[in-house]
Amino acid sequence: MCSSFDPGKCPTVSEMLSRLGDKWTVLIIMVLRNGPQRFSDIKRTVVGVSQRMLTLTLRALERDGMVRRTVYATVPPRVEYELTELGQSFSEPIQAFGGWVFENYNQIHTARAAFDARSEAERGNDKLIKIG
């Protein structure tokens, strides 16, 4: 099993985790929860994504069976992306995680402020010691 937490032993979990961590995957999945979308629509909705990264991310999701890509042979070409069942299922634990952050981000910010204040204080002391 995965009980030793050796990334070499549970490569799929690690992979999926870093997929989550990349800059665009989660955003794109959330957008696709609203139904099938064209390439340009996604690009417009996911603010800041480059053409390149959108393509790469969609390809990766397609490869993992999360997204289905449908090409319509029209002029101009029309390509639609939609979540598969697997992709929908995948989006649920992600949403749960997002929900957790929303409920707890005050505590996170507070902790950060406290930590930074302490660090600041320590650096200040160092300075005094060095100067004195």
Partner DNA sequence: CGGGATCCCTTCTGATACTG
Partner DNA sequence: CAGTATCAGAAGGGATCCCG
Binding interface with DNA (CB under 7 A): 18, 22-24, 38-41, 48-53, 55, 58-59, 69, 76-79
Tokens 């992600």 sit at which residue? 94
Could you give the 3-state DSSP secondary structure of residue 38?
Answer: strand
Residue selected from 41, 64, 80, 82 as contacting a copy of itself according to rule CB under 8 A? 64
End-to-end CA distance of the chain: 57
Judged on CB neighbours under 10 Å (0-12, 13-18, 19+), 45 is middle
Q: Answer yes or no whether residue 108 interacts with a copy of itself by CB under 8 A.
A: yes
Question: With CB under 8 A, what is the number of residues at the site for a copy of itself?
Answer: 54
48 or 132, CB closer to a copy of itself? 48
